[in-house]
Structure 1
Amino acid sequence: MPIPAPNLTPAFNILRLSHVELIVTDLAKSRAFYVDTLGLQVTDEDSQTIYLRAMEERGHHCLVLKKGDTPQARDLSFKLFDEEHLERAEHFFREKGHPTEWVERPYQSRTFRTRDPHGIPLEFHARMDRLPPIHQQYKLYNGVKPLRIDHFNCFTPDVDASVAFYNQLGFRVTEYTEDEESKRLWAAWMHRKGGVHDMAFTNGTGPRLHHTAFWVPTPLNIIDLLDLMATTGWVKNIERGPGRHGISNAFFLYIRDPDGHRTEIYCSDYQTVDPDLEPIKWDLKDPQRQTLWGAPAPRSWFEEGSLFEGAEPIASTLAATPIVAP
């Protein structure tokens, strides 16, 4: 299917992704991973929840870890322009028959929850409590020195349908992979904030969260993290990389937390703010699409992901397969 034309006047204005909540089974182990190893900053915590932010962020949190019995992903959260656009968003989803509910969230203004057509739980708000800047408190920079949350990537059973829906929300495609035989999309990268993506969609059993990504200053920070993980008991949590993607041009590393939730450490993609920027097309069989250089992705990277709470995954009908490491 053809990539839809950019929708420059959506019903409401999504500024960027905001945060994600993950259910973890052992809060202490998760804290050791995300705080002591990756270097995210704790903004609040108790016996059930840890709120975290990265070094450049002024909002209260970009990641929420919630203790639970079963590892899952909860809402993918997005920040809107203002309260008027929040009302517009709720009206948009309600008019299209999606479930909507207003919820109370700590450190956020009015917030509503809904789901996309495949069941991905979404959350929207216009304001979050602001914290003092810490980006020049260099004594706090630890681990991989994460600067900000960058994007989500989700498995979906129908990439074409996901792209068509998020196009209605104003997301614009920057790059995509097409199966030449069926002419269907195998993956697509879509943005709001002017990078390569805030949301990406990958063909597969879904909906499931493939990964959450954090932007870091340089590739050397990723090398430092690998040295740290290799000498502090986390070497088996390194899943893929380091390497450079063809798509996005980003230097990357994929790691897994104690419950298997996947994190991408990410830097050096490019600016996409021009509204007439043409999407870049890749052939599914092009090996440099996923890895410009570096080892091919392992099978786990294509098959494993975090279940979304309350969403029942279904299999994709697109049987095309990319190159998989032996």
Structure 2
Amino acid sequence: MPLPAPNLYPPFHIVRLSHVELHVTDLARSRAFWVDTLGLQVTHEDDELITLRAMEERNHHCVILRKADQPSAGHLAFKVYAEEDLDKAHAWLSARGHAVEWVERPWQNRTLRTRDPQGVPLEFYATMERLAPIHQKYALYKGVKPLRIDHFNCFSTDVDASVAFYNDIGFRISEYTEDEESKRLWAAWMHRKGGVHDMAFTNGRGPRLHHVAFWVPTPLNIIDLLDLMSTTGYLANIERGPGRHGISNAFFLYIRDPDGHRVEIYCSDYLTIDPDHEPIRWDLKDPQRQTLWGAPAPKSWFEEGTAFADTEIGEPTLAAKPIVAP
């Protein structure tokens, strides 16, 4: 199927991804992983939730860890330019049959909640409490030294449909994987902030959260994290990498938190700011698509993900398969 033409004048203006809410079964155990090991900074903590930010971020949080009986994802959040964009989003989504509601969220002003056509819970806001900068407080840098949240990746049962929706609201395609036989999209990477992606989609049982990613200073920080995890009881939490992606050209590592939520540690992708930036196409069977060095991903990477709370999971409409590690 042909790619949709980029929508450079969307109905409302999204700045970037903002934060993710993850449901975890043991806050103390999660804190040991996200704070003591990865190095995110605590901005609020009580018996029900912990909020975290990375070193370059001024918003109150980029991760919400909420205590729950079962692991799941609560929502994915995006920041819009201004309050009027929330009203525009409400009108546009309502006119197209999407359920919308205004919700109260601590540390945020008005927040609009909806779901994308796959069922992914989305929240939009314009203003969040701002905190003092800490990017030059080098005594706080620990773990992998996370600088900022970078992107979400979700399993989608129909990547073409997911791309159509996000294209309509102003996300632009940077790279994509096409199944040669059907000419349908198997995966796509879409951005708002001018990197390779804020939101990506992988063909599979969905909707589910595949991973959330954090930008780090250098590949050496990833090596340091591997040394730390392998000697502090987290060896089994290392899932894939380190390596360099063909798609995005980024250096990467995939790890799992104590509840199985997948986290990518990520650096070294490229700018996509120009409005006439042309998407890069990859064939599904290209061995350098997943990893520039040719190493395929493990089976778990294609099959396991985090369910969204109160969201039905369906089977993919595209049966094509990538190269999988034995």
> What is the TM-score when the length of structure 2 is the normalising length?
0.99
SS in 1 for 2:248: helix
The aligned amino acid for 2:63 is: L
How does 1:272-287 map onto structure 2 within 5 Å?
Answer: 272-287=272-287
1:311 CA drift (Å): 1.1
Match in the other structure for 1:135: 135
The aligned amino acid for 2:317 is: T
Separation in 1 of the partners of 2:178 and 2:161?
14
Match in the other structure for 2:123: 123
Match in the other structure for 1:191: 191
1:70 CA drift (Å): 0.8
Is 292-301 or 90-99 further displaced after alignment?
292-301
Match in the other structure for 2:224: 224
SS in 2 for 1:182: coil
Match in the other structure for 1:109: 109
Is 122-131 or 291-300 further displaced after alignment?
291-300
Deviations 1:201-248 (A, max 9, x none): 000010000000000000000000000000000010000000000000
SS in 2 for 1:155: strand
Match in the other structure for 2:84: 84
SS in 2 for 1:180: coil
Separation in 1 of the partners of 2:80 and 2:292?
34
Separation in 1 of the partners of 2:79 and 2:228?
33
Deviations 1:58-104 (A, max 9, x none): 00000000000010001100000000011101111111111111111
Match in the other structure for 1:268: 268
* 1:170–1:192 CA contact under 8 A, matched in 2: yes
How does 1:191-270 map onto structure 2 within 5 Å?
Answer: 191-270=191-270
Separation in 2 of the partners of 1:123 and 1:163?
18
* 2:288–2:294 CA contact under 8 A, matched in 1: no
* 2:287–2:295 CA contact under 8 A, matched in 1: no
Separation in 2 of the partners of 1:35 and 1:151?
19
The aligned amino acid for 1:23 is: H
- Contiguous gaps of at least 5 residues in structure 2: none
Match in the other structure for 2:12: 12
> What is the TM-score when the length of structure 1 is the normalising length?
0.99
Separation in 2 of the partners of 1:295 and 1:12?
40
1:295 CA drift (Å): 3.3
Is 50-59 or 306-315 further displaced after alignment?
306-315
Separation in 1 of the partners of 2:218 and 2:57?
18
- Aligned residues: CA RMSD: 0.6
Deviations 1:247-288 (A, max 9, x none): 000000000000100000000000000000000000000010
1:294 CA drift (Å): 6.1
Separation in 1 of the partners of 2:150 and 2:238?
20
1:12 CA drift (Å): 0.2
SS in 1 for 2:162: helix
Separation in 2 of the partners of 1:126 and 1:277?
27
The aligned amino acid for 1:155 is: F
